[in-house]
């Protein structure tokens, strides 16, 4: 048993004991404006497209930072990020669904809900909260569950970032029509980081899909290696949360030497 297995097992038990009210969530979701196009934002950007993440803590890093969310998100946008990732898991990452709402209000960028989703009701919950896209982790779902979750997201107009860490995970992802495929350098069972393994996996993502390198990206060299491997986007969290100047750090990662425009 590892971190991911324990967390997902606990989450499944909690959902069985306390199921979400899908009807109420669907009513809320239907009253919201259309989602902002996450996949389109990635495809339309000059590589690297930066997905900038807001997270307060993590099991691997402990407490990271506690900046004002709205201010941080506006810095992300000013630096050239094309989308915002918000970690909403409350028990291990100190996240909250209210952060999704706050991020969406702070900047006109698509917002990805990053969490451990194992039930279609959580996808509806994501939309009802204002998310424009959801993270789906291949290793946490069966192939049938993954396809079902993607179908629900599609019905709601949500995009999805579907994440793999291993060749087995990636093979499962590629049985779907997921347009955005993440390769996570962090093993969610052991929490160990292996950027080389991830960079070796990125070229296996078909070129007609958007490949996103996740975790461990902290320098322009990392970004360049991701681009060389075939990724067109990177997801960056801890580096930006710890940075004295998040806007400048995004510009540096993007290779933008022109400064603010």
Catalytic residues: 53, 55, 114, 163, 184, 214-215
Question: How far are the Cα atoms of 199, 209, 236 from residue 48, in angstroms, in the given order?
Answer: 15, 15, 12
**DSSP letter for each residue of the chain:** --HHHHHHHHHHHHHHHS---HHHHHHHHHTSPPPP-HHHHHHHSPSSEEEEEE-SEETTTEE-----HHHHHHHHHHHT-SEEEEE--HHHH---THHHHHHHHHSSS-EEEES---SHHHHHHHHHHT-SEEEEEGGGS-HHHHHHHHHHHHHHT-EEEEEESSHHHHHHHTTS--SEEEEESB-TTT--B-HHHHHHHGGGS-TTSEEEEES---SHHHHHHHHHHT--EEEE-HHHHH-S-HHHHHHHHHT--S---
């Amino acid at each position: 048993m590892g971190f991911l297995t324990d967390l997902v097992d606990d989450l499944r038990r909690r959902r069985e004991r306390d199921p979400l009210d899908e009807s109420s969530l669907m009513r809320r979701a239907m009253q919201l404006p259309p989602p902002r196009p996450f996949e389109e934002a990635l495809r339309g950007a000059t590589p690297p497209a930066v997905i900038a993440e807001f997270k307060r803590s993590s099991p691997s890093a402990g407490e990271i930072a506690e900046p004002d969310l709205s201010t941080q998100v506006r810095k992300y946008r000013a630096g050239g990020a094309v989308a915002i990732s918000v970690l909403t898991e409350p028990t291990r990452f100190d996240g909250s669904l209210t952060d999704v709402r706050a991020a969406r209000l702070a900047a006109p960028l698509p917002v990805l809900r990053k969490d451990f989703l194992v039930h279609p009701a959580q996808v509806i919950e994501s939309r009802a909260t204002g998310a424009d896209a959801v993270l789906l982790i291949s290793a946490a779902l069966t192939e049938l569950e993954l396809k079902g979750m993607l179908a629900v997201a599609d019905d709601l107009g949500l995009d999805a970032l579907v994440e793999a860490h291993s060749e087995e995970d990636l093979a499962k992802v590629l049985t779907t029509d997921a347009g955005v495929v993440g390769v996570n350098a962090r093993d969610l069972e052991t929490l160990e980081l292996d950027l080389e393994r991830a960079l070796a996996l990125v070229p296996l993502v078909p070129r007609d899909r958007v490949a996103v390198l996740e975790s461990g990206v902290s320098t322009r060299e990392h970004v360049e290696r991701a681009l060389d491997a075939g990724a067109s986007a990177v997801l960056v969290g801890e580096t930006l949360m710890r940075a004295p100047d998040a806007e400048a750090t995004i510009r540096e990662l993007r290779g933008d030497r022109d400064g603010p425009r």
